[in-house]
Amino acid sequence: MSSVSQSAPFTIEPENSWNIINDSVMGGGSSSSVSYDNKVATFSGELSLDNNGGFASIRARLTTKVPAKATHVYIRVKGDGRKYQLRLRTDSNWDAAAYSRTFNTKRDEWLTYQFSAAEFIALFRGQQVNAPELKLTDVKQIGFLLADKQPGQFSLSFKSILLGAVDLSSLVFVRIQCF
């Protein structure tokens, strides 16, 4: 049976200083922020298609060492019915390729996702690129992106992000460390 000790939680607290990167970097009109309440972080704002915009994102540097046997990423999220991307970067550079995994949300419902490293595709500025296979031990940044081309308000709350080798089914009765 797998144990939680085989995993590394990514604690999401204000000190982690999430960086906001929206389409405003290229003249777009989207806006977003990150707020914290009772050990839950919320990425929210307004997506705008003005001036060929249409994306909002947050990311933070990973400060926790990823276990050598890490094979999966686990997230616990509550959304607004929109489609988001979980984005992992293996480079400390803010303008490097990202490994992306799209996921759906249900309005006001907490969902837990388990993604294998093989499910992530390498993208650079929205275009698929050739890149080495993702190794979770190489991850240096983690974040979320909304780019569904649907203007309007959005909100994605998240309680935990876990990188490890634990089979999610073994965590049913185990509390995942949140923040």
Per residue in 96-124, pLDDT tens?
A: 889 999 999 999 999 999 999 999 999 99
> Residues 130-151: what's their mean pLDDT?
94
By C-alpha distance, which of 45, 60, 54 is closest to 25? 54
Structure pTM? 0.85
37 CB-near residues (< 8 Å, 6+ apart): none
> Residues 83-95: what's their mean pLDDT?
89
So what CATH class is 4-171? mainly beta
Residue 85, pLDDT above cutoff 90: yes
Q: Rounded distance, CA 174 to CA 123, Å?
A: 34
By C-alpha distance, which of 52, 55, 53, 51 is closest to 43? 55
